[in-house]
Chains A and B, each alone.
Chain A
């Protein structure tokens, strides 16, 4: 894969949700190319299609039409089962609601993707400890999500997203459930990540959007502005 080629390329992507008597066009002919490093922020009102766009880029959902290529892999050609392996190595997800596994400790949550990737037990423990130290949680390794604050949980989620060193991190409203002070810390972490990989973030938070290298405005499923 050419290093100049974009990490993410979407061509005329549409996503339509059909409900009885109604059709919701979440994405409508989106064309997008995202470079190999840096942060791109997707902004727009609620229901504009921000999350839908992230889900399609992250192979969490399939488009109704159009082409999606991530890290040189055309996703429409990948069967559902193989998409898990694709997500495992290529994507790191940070959810608004953290989505940590409640019964596992912070360390175990971070080692989990490495376990799926077949990393040896000793190495995954070492790497997970280092990642948690990077997000400032070296003293909270054995705590379960319920024993951590919202900000701490989101930092565990960020460490988990980095577990297999993916080229792309997708963050869906990562500070949506956090107070502003805690949010600031998360912005810093995401900004740091964007120096070494691509971070695509859907957000309402202006400070985070201001940090981004690129601002993608979306409304009614269409990209209406692409500011760099």
Chain B
């Protein structure tokens, strides 16, 4: 009779399709929200990665941008050499920074860094969060070359289409000024754009990364560093290392912990995560309710059939087994349909869903940009899908069993008249 139940589910294609669609739709919604949640988790993890164990050094009282009014002091080269020798230092990443005016009162940041080092955003200290959305990152062979990876905000300003980077160029005019930028009497620099990144927020997208050597050549900064990111050998060593850095360079450098700078974005990511979790809970509830009542309906609709089976002598356990097997078959069909839809359409659906669902709850500067930094994939997390599928199966069994138990205890005659 178990086989009879499974076969029964397969006999009417329109019914199977309808039930699978009714179960598959909330299942798909659940998986889509799961995909957003997973992407947010990855993003938040990446954001904090290399932040908790990192300290930043700047010239005392200066932002360290080589052409910024009253903020152009940079750290001498010997600081870099000395920091490298300190205990508990795992890695040192030097940045040299400048600014260039863009539209109106806006400006972009130019960052010179060693290819392979983490691309950090100027406004926040987080590491590795800007995601390449077109082209490629800087590589070793780019050293000394006039190449740049730019934020998508810079790309818009420079009218560069990220989908077509072949021959894309951008010119930096070092003589242009701004209320906070002074002119440098140096020739303009033409850069080939090899990659475009998305940061997750508007200001973070207004940055250019160029190889450190290239920066020095363009801006004529042969020595010294604007910022120094000092990575400790562990998060536990950070206080010790911070004390040592302050003791050694306290008079000429400010020692900053970027973890607090990253907090704003991680808080936003957490908000999105909570919204996603709430959405998942709601869709899981919807799924369970839909499946439960669907099975209730499917069984009650067939009370006459149950009565007939009882009349011709079917044992109760056989009838219950058959209907539960049928419920399970429907649940599996719905789950499979939802999973297939998720594999095929999960990522685009998540992108469509993200704006209307999350937009009202995140700060304005993240509203249109956070989605771009999330690597939402259509892949299915096996563990979570197993939990979702088990929930669907349990709801199906519960709904079916509840209706069955109400009908099965009737006499055959009562069951046949039940509908």
Among candidates B7, B308, B316, B409, residue contacting A84 with C-beta atoms closer than 8 Å: B316
Known: A99-B308, A101-B305. A116 touches B315 (CB 8 A): yes
Mask for B384-419, Cβ within 8 A of A = 1, else 0? Answer: 000000000000000000000000010111101000
Contact pick for A87, options B7, B12, B312, CB 8 Å: B312
Whether A84 lies near B310 (C-beta < 8 A) is yes
Query: What secondary structure prevails in chain B residues at the interface with A?
Result: helix
Which residues of A sit under 8 angstroms from B12, Cβ to Cβ? 103
Which chain B residue lies CB-closest to A144? B11
CA A85 to CA B316, docked complex, whole Å: 10
Q: Is the CB of B413 within 8 A of A60?
A: yes
A73 to chain B, nearest CB (A): 14
Give the chain B neighbours of A61 by CB distance below 8 A.
Answer: 411, 413-414
For chain A, residues 65 to 111, give those with C-beta under 8 angstroms from any C-beta of chain B.
80-81, 84-89, 91, 93, 95, 99-103
Return chain A residues, CB-CB under 8 Å to B311.
58, 60, 87, 93, 99
Question: Is the CB–CB distance between B411 and A60 below 8 Å?
Answer: yes
Contacting residues, chain B, for A58 (C-beta < 8 A) = 311
Interface check A50, CB cutoff 8 A: no
Measured between alpha carbons, how far is A81 from B1 in the docked complex, in Å? 18
Across the interface, do A62 and B411 meet the contact criterion of CB distance under 8 Å? yes
Complex Cα spacing A84 to B314, Å: 6
CB of B351 within 8 Å of the partner chain: no
Query: Does B192 belong to the interface (CB within 8 Å)?
Result: no
* Binary B-proximity of A148-178 (CB < 8 A = 1, otherwise 0): 0000000000001000100000000000000
Do residues A112 and B411 form an inter-chain contact, with CB atoms below 8 A?
A: no
Q: Does B8 contact A (CB under 8 A)?
A: yes
Complex CA–CA separation, A58 to B413 (angstroms)? 10
- In the complex, chain B residues whose CB is within 8 Å of the CB of A55: 413
Given A84-B315, A115-B1, are A101 and B309 also a contact pair (CB < 8 Å)? yes
Tell me which residues from 131 to 153 in chain B have a Cβ below 8 Å from any Cβ of chain A: none
Q: Is A117 an interface residue (CB 8 A)?
A: yes
B313–A116 CB distance below 8 A: yes
Residues 1-46 (chain B) with a chain A CB within 8 angstroms = 1, 4, 7-8, 11-12
A44 at the interface (CB under 8 A from B): no
- Complex Cα gap A112–B308 (Å): 11
Asked whether any CB of chain A lies closer than 8 Å to the CB of B304, the reply is: yes
Query: With A101-B308, A116-B318 given, is the CB distance from A87 to B411 under 8 Å?
Result: no
Whole-angstrom distance between the Cβ of A91 and the nearest chain B Cβ: 8
Chain A residue, CB-CB nearest to B414: A61
**Which interface residue of B12, B312, B318 has the most chain A CB atoms within 10 A?**
B312
Across-interface contacts of A84 in B (CB, < 8 A): 310, 313-316
| Complex contact B313–A88 (CB within 8 A) | yes
Question: Judging by beta carbons under 8 Å apart, are B8 and A89 in contact?
Answer: no
Measured between C-beta atoms, what is the minimum distance from B37 to chain A in Å? 40
Question: Which residues of chain A have C-beta atoms less than 8 A from B313's C-beta?
Answer: 84-89, 91, 113, 116-117, 164
CB distance from B337 to the nearest CB of A (A): 21
Q: 22 pairs across A/B with beta carbons < 8 Å?
A: A60-B311, A60-B412, A61-B413, A80-B409, A80-B411, A81-B316, A84-B314, A84-B315, A85-B313, A86-B313, A87-B312, A87-B313, A87-B412, A88-B312, A88-B313, A95-B308, A101-B309, A102-B305, A103-B11, A103-B12, A112-B312, A116-B313
- Beyond A85-B315, A99-B308, A103-B11, 15 extra complex contacts between A and B, CB < 8 Å: A60-B412, A62-B411, A80-B411, A87-B310, A87-B312, A88-B313, A95-B308, A100-B308, A103-B12, A112-B309, A112-B312, A113-B312, A115-B4, A116-B313, A164-B313
A residues contacting B by CB (< 8 A) are: 55, 58, 60-62, 80-81, 84-89, 91, 93, 95, 99-103, 112-113, 115-117, 160, 164
